[in-house]
């Protein structure tokens, strides 16, 4: 494992980073970025951020998605600075600032397979992002999460096949079907927008959502329409569970996949 503790800038998290392999390859003449032809591949990334204790309770669970992007972002020559991975040598464990530096300038794309990113605060996990593949490109500030993508906070879990971290607005965007789980409730939707705490964003475009509220003998399902859809928000569909079903939708113990 390699890591760096950054105690020089107030508000920036310390981090620990580990991966099995890192390699760069030439993207070839078909690359849309002639000044940035390298594609960097990172295998089995395990990244832990340790945020400092907040000054007040209002920002206790605040997570800045840009911290991840700033560390791993690629950049073309002459553009904004690329991410700079700084790591300590595990064999020495000396508190040097930078033992090994990986400069991602002159890089068009960073591809990570798979990725596990955790944000800790006071030894508690406030955010965890796991996906089969993550991609960062030099021309955008978004991070694309593909394959089986899961985002978990202290009170909710979001699953989908194609998510995006909108770093500029500090929120998650969902393309396609998703499942949002909270204690006592499950929500299935198509397209969505959530802040870093997985709360719905008020000014986001409307999306198709089904809420599943658990009960002893039935599920109550409410429909919220998308733009142009001929569905009333008051419509309710009663779904009777199969006899003998032991499915538990409370909390995060269920093994639901989409």
Q: Are residues 190 and 115 in the same domain?
A: no
Please tell me whether the overall predicted TM-score, pTM, comes out greater than 0.85 for this model.
no
Does residue 61 belong to any structural domain of this protein? yes
For residue 122, what pLDDT is reported?
83
Residue at token pair 């990244």: 47
Per-residue pLDDT of 112-141, as tens digits, reads 999 999 999 888 899 999 999 999 998 888
Taken in order 198, 199, 204, 205, is the CA torsion positive or negative? positive
Residue at token pair 């199969």: 242
For residue 198, what pLDDT is reported?
94
Q: Are residues 120 and 205 in the same domain?
A: no
Does residue 121 belong to any structural domain of this protein? yes
Q: Quick check: 226 pLDDT over 60?
A: no
Q: What average pLDDT does the segment 220-244 reach?
A: 36
Among 78, 112, 140, the domain-final residue is 140
Under a CB-based contact definition with an 8 Å cutoff, are residues 107 and 38 in contact? Answer: yes
Among 112, 140, 168, the domain-final residue is 140
Q: Are residues 159 and 120 in the same domain?
A: no
Q: Are residues 84 and 18 in the same domain?
A: yes
Of 253 and 30, more confident: 30
For residue 82, what pLDDT is reported?
61
Q: What average pLDDT does the segment 85-111 reach?
A: 63
Q: Quick check: 258 pLDDT over 80?
A: no
Q: Are residues 197 and 103 in the same domain?
A: no
- CA dist 149 and 167 (Å) reads 17
Q: Quick check: 238 pLDDT over 70?
A: no
Domain count for the chain = 2
Does residue 145 belong to any structural domain of this protein? no
Does residue 146 belong to any structural domain of this protein? no
For residue 230, what pLDDT is reported?
38
Under a CB-based contact definition with an 8 Å cutoff, are residues 69 and 165 in contact? Answer: yes
Q: Quick check: 29 pLDDT over 80?
A: no
Q: Are residues 126 and 180 in the same domain?
A: no
Enumerate residues 6+ apart whose C-beta is below 8 A from 103. Answer: 82, 84
Q: Are residues 164 and 126 in the same domain?
A: no
H or E segment to which residue 233 belongs? none
Q: Are residues 19 and 129 in the same domain?
A: yes
Q: What average pLDDT does the segment 43-66 reach?
A: 75
Q: Are residues 78 and 121 in the same domain?
A: yes
Q: Quick check: 98 pLDDT over 60?
A: no
Per-residue pLDDT of 171-209, as tens digits, reads 999 999 999 999 888 989 999 999 999 998 877 776 777
For residue 250, what pLDDT is reported?
38
For residue 204, what pLDDT is reported?
72
Residue length, the chain? 258
Q: Are residues 61 and 188 in the same domain?
A: no
State which residues form the domain around 46: 1-140
For residue 76, what pLDDT is reported?
66
Among 140, 170, 204, the domain-final residue is 140
CA angle (184, 199, 248) in 5-degree steps: 20
Per-residue pLDDT of 135-168, as tens digits, reads 999 888 899 999 999 999 989 999 999 999 999 9
- Specify burial of residue 136 (Cβ count, 10 A radius: 0-12, 13-18, 19+): buried
Q: Are residues 233 and 161 in the same domain?
A: yes
For residue 228, what pLDDT is reported?
35
Q: Which of 197, 30, 231 is nearest to 127 (CA)?
A: 197
Under a CB-based contact definition with an 8 Å cutoff, are residues 234 and 242 in contact? Answer: no
Q: Are residues 133 and 162 in the same domain?
A: no
């Amino acid at each position: 494992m390699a890591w760096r503790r950054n105690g020089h800038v107030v508000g920036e998290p310390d981090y620990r980073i580990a991966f099995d392999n890192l390699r760069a390859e030439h993207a070839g003449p078909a690359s849309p970025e002639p000044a940035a032809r390298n594609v960097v591949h990172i295998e089995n990334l395990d990244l832990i951020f340790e945020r400092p204790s907040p000054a007040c309770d209002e920002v206790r669970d605040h997570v800045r998605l840009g911290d991840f992007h700033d560390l791993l972002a690629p950049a073309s020559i002459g553009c904004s600075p690329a991410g700079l991975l700084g790591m300590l040598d595990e064999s020495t464990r000396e508190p040097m600032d930078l033992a090994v530096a990986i400069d991602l300038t002159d890089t068009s794309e960073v591809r990570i397979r798979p990725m596990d990113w955790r944000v800790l605060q006071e030894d508690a996990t406030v955010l965890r992002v796991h996906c089969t593949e993550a991609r960062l490109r030099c021309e955008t500030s978004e991070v694309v999460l593909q394959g089986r993508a899961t985002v978990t906070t202290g009170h909710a879990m979001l699953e989908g096949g194609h998510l995006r971290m909108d770093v500029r607005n500090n929120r998650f965007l969902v393309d396609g079907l998703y499942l949002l789980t909270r204690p006592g409730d499950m929500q299935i939707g198509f397209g969505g927008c959530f802040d870093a705490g997985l709360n719905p964003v008020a000014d986001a475009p409307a999306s198709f959502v089904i809420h599943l509220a658990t009960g002893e003998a039935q599920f109550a399902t409410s429909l919220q329409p998308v733009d142009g859809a001929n569905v009333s928000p008051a419509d309710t569909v009663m779904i009777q569970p199969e006899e003998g079903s032991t499915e538990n939708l409370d909390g995060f113990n269920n093994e639901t996949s989409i």
